[in-house]
Structure 1
Amino acid sequence: MKKLLFLLIVLFALSGFSQKDNKRLTHFNLEKNVAIQGYDPVAYFKQGKAVKGKKEITVSHEGVVYYFSMPVNKEYFLKNPSKFEPQYGGWCAFAMGDSNEKVSVNPETFKIKNGKLYLFYNAFFNNTLKSWNKNESGLMMKADANWNKIVK
């Protein structure tokens, strides 16, 4: 009886983890479970630029896979993943605040604000980072509220 109870507890715990992973996978901007189109999330902070990661240097954090350009960046990430993950699941920050939409990004168009990484759409003569900068605080408040509704 104790073994059965233990097994049920383990299965329940594992299903809770997989539900959290599935929720992240559903809402994050991913290509084959890889975030930021394979760019290194730590490089934005440590190198101040977008740097492509390598498939050989990866971490899966709650179902989301991140690539890193060098092993030390992977180590930084492992110490505090939430510090380096992009805001709004890697979707365009401007679109999240302006229209509550999940819009793809150009990983090379980004901003670090208050220790957080924001990514933006930038194609066809439309750089949403410029629009974001015109009303950053208002758009950030709306984007935060919109994202919190999505992930609940």
Structure 2
Amino acid sequence: MKISAKGRYGLAAMIYMAEQAKQDAYITIIHISEQLGISKVYLEQTFSLLKRAGLVTSIKGAQGGYQLARMPMQITAFDVLSAIEISLFEKTDETVGKNSPDIEAAMQLSAFEPLGRAVETTLKQISLYDLVNEAEKHKKDTSYMFYI
């Protein structure tokens, strides 16, 4: 499955915000861009979609930025990706429906619809909280141990 850059960046930014959620502060797009090495332009477009979906809230001004609208446990990967990757969860277009409706029905009912349901079900089971915990497992230990 191929997720667009905007979808990948959006999910990464939301995971980063979930990591910072305990601080209850608003985070700027510039800060996220610098921390994750993601284009500011992509993030601006992405956060517009996330805000429209009700996943983030924002405040304008010097102390402004974005904040998660709900707790990380209450936001799923499906929530994020369906807000950004609009075409990812649309019904598959007909391929040969006019000339061969039997083959079209077979493809839709036996392949495309079950695949779509499986992807949706899986993404709905993964919360930002789960992704933060997984990211923590992969952080490099930057502390040093000194022996004398």
TM-score, length-normalised on structure 2?
Answer: 0.27
**Relative contact order (alpha carbons < 8 A, sep ≥ 6): 1 or 2 greater?**
2
